[in-house]
């Protein structure tokens, strides 16, 4: 086995990585949307505003047997590194994953990273099957579970519009002082600073279990840089915010990232300003973003979202909006010496 850095500008290597992603998708989560070549290649080649990425590949008999990706935040959380390891299903349990992983641990250590995190998926009752390999592999490498999120998805085509209107009518009297704005594309300049503030609040406000995250330091410029990268990958960004009329403050925000070819979306996040809680703004912005997505992307079916199990309020909102559990996402963590 040869372990070498992966060259994202080498067509052969990139093609092999895409083929591997397809094989992993077919083996591990065929119900997930399949990987797409162009967005994947664009992502691999993008400069990220706030993270450095290292890629390592393992080759056996001149075939790509697996790869690992290490993402290291550069503007905050500089103690952290996130690792992803993927091995060709035909070549598992032969030490490929461990060899890639060790390489990444050493690299993270050489970059003064002291906390490694890695996410794995698990099954929920009634959901599609999910294997145990990721969790067992992480445990075998000294990680322990630090946070469990339940991933949910809603079928927007099955929305009961009468029930949705009823819910909105219940909420709006609590939000008379707020204007709801929606957009498709970059966050409008006048809201970008307020949205960035709310993005940073997520680490402090949403339950993070034992994960060693610090509050992020996103500003309007960094938010827009991250959004431009997503647009370059062919993702559409549909946002909604509640703006407090008397002060102009952005009080709540949500965004659905509609990934190509346009039949799936992900909630990027939903957050309400601590000063403006109790006005049903989380529910209102989510309904408005759903409506805009249904109008502009009628082919979109499933929207995915994830919530910490301890986040009862957000879970209750999602339940009313038709989100149903389909898998867990467990953040594993390991401290480096
Ligand atoms: C998890 C994954 C990377 C493991 O790759 P691998 O090359 O098979 O791993 P290794 O052969 O180095 O396994 C190392 C140890 O992990 C544990 N392990 C790995 N797969 C396991 C499985 N299916 N069941 C139980 N234990 C497992 C074992 O302790 C194993 O040692 P052993 O084979 O001597 O018992 C691979 O299954 C994969 O790509 N899964 C999909 C993506 C994923 O979940 N990645 C992990 C998080 S980013």
The pLDDT tens digits for 191-244 are 999 999 999 998 888 888 899 999 999 999 999 999 999 999 999 999 999 999
pLDDT score for 97: 98
Q: In what order do the strands lie in the sheet with 250-259?
A: 2-5, 51-60, 63-73, 80-87, 115-122, 324-335, 144-155, 302-308, 264-272, 250-259, 236-244, 178-184
Q: Which two tokens stand for residue 332?
A: 């594993």
pLDDT score for 202: 87
pLDDT score for 206: 81
Cα(77)–Cα(247) distance, integer angstroms: 32
Per-domain boundaries in the chain: 2-113, 155-324
Is the distance from the beta carbon of residue 27 to the nearest atom of ligand 1 less than 6 Å?
Answer: no
pLDDT score for 310: 82
Q: Which two tokens stand for residue 15?
A: 């093609």
The CATH number of the domain covering residues in 2-113: 3.40.630.30
Is the distance from the beta carbon of residue 95 to the nearest atom of ligand 1 less than 6 Å?
Answer: yes
What does the pLDDT look like over 167-184, one tens digit per residue?
A: 999 999 999 999 999 999
Ligand 1 midpoint to CA 134 (Å): 6
Averaged confidence pLDDT in the chain: 96
Cα(84)–Cα(101) distance, integer angstroms: 9
Ligand 1 atom nearest 140 alpha carbon: 29
Helices 281-296 and 312-320, axial angle in degrees (round to 10): 40
What does the pLDDT look like over 109-148, one tens digit per residue?
A: 999 999 999 999 999 999 999 999 999 999 999 999 999 9
pLDDT score for 204: 80
pLDDT score for 309: 82
Ligand 1 midpoint to CA 98 (Å): 8
Residue with CA at minimum distance from ligand 1 atom 21: 133
Is the distance from the beta carbon of residue 108 to the nearest atom of ligand 1 less than 6 Å?
Answer: no
Cα(276)–Cα(175) distance, integer angstroms: 10
Length of the chain: 337
Is the distance from the beta carbon of residue 159 to the nearest atom of ligand 1 less than 6 Å?
Answer: no
Taking residues 68-93, report their average pLDDT: 98
Taking residues 329-336, report their average pLDDT: 97
Residue with CA at minimum distance from ligand 1 atom 26: 136
Ligand 1 midpoint to CA 141 (Å): 10
Is the distance from the beta carbon of residue 101 to the nearest atom of ligand 1 less than 6 Å?
Answer: no
pLDDT score for 337: 82
Cα(283)–Cα(135) distance, integer angstroms: 34
Is the distance from the beta carbon of residue 17 to the nearest atom of ligand 1 less than 6 Å?
Answer: no
Task: Judge whether 2-113 and 155-324 match in fold.
Answer: yes
The CATH superfamily label for domain 155-324 reads Gcn5-related N-acetyltransferase (GNAT) (3.40.630.30)
Pocket test for ligand 1, best of 27, 100, 133, 139 (most atoms within 8 A of CB): 133
Pocket test for ligand 1, best of 30, 65, 87, 93 (most atoms within 8 A of CB): 93
CB 242 within 8 A of CB 179: yes
Task: Please choose, from the candidates 39, 34, 74, the residue with its C-alpha nearest in 3D space to the C-alpha of residue 222.
Answer: 74
Taking residues 319-333, report their average pLDDT: 96
Tell me which H or E stretch contains 85. strand 80-87
Alpha helical stretches, state H, 119-219 = 133-140, 161-171, 189-205
């Amino acid at each position: 086995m040869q372990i070498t850095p992966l060259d994202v500008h080498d067509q052969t290597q990139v093609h092999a990585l895409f083929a591997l992603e397809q094989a992993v998708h077919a083996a591990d989560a065929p119900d997930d949307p399949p990987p797409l070549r162009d967005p994947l290649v664009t992502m691999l080649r993008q400069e990220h505003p706030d993270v450095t990425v290292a890629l390592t590949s393992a080759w056996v008999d001149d075939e790509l047997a697996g790869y690992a990706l290490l993402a290291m935040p550069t503007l905050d959380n500089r103690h952290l590194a996130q690792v992803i390891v993927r091995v060709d299903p035909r070549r598992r349990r032969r030490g490929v994953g461990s060899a890639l992983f060790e390489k990444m641990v050493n690299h993270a250590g050489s970059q003064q990273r002291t906390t490694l995190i890695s996410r794995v998926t698990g099954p929920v009752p009634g959901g599609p099957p999910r294997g145990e390999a990721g969790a067992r592999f992480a445990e075998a490498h000294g990680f322990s579970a630090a946070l469990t999120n339940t991933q949910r998805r809603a079928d927007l085509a099955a929305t009961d519009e009468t029930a949705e209107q009823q819910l909105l009518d219940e909420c709006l009297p609590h939000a008379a002082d707020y204007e709801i704005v929606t957009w498709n594309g970059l966050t409008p300049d006048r809201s970008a600073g307020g949205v960035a503030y709310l993005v940073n609040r997520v680490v402090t406000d949403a339950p993070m279990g034992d994960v060693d995250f610090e509050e992020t330091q996103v500003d309007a410029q960094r938010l827009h840089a991250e959004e431009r990268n997503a647009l370059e990958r062919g993702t559409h960004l549909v946002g909604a915010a509640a703006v407090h009329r008397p002060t102009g403050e952005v009080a709540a925000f949500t965004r659905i990232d509609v990934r190509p070819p346009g039949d799936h979306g992900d909630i990027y996040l939903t957050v309400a300003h601590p000063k403006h809680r109790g006005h049903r703004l989380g529910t209102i912005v989510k309904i408005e973003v759903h409506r805009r997505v249904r109008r502009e992307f009628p082919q979109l079916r499933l929207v995915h979202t994830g919530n910490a199990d301890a986040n009862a309020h957000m879970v209750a909102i999602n339940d009313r909006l038709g989100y149903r559990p389909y898998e867990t996402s467990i953040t594993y963590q390991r401290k480096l010496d």
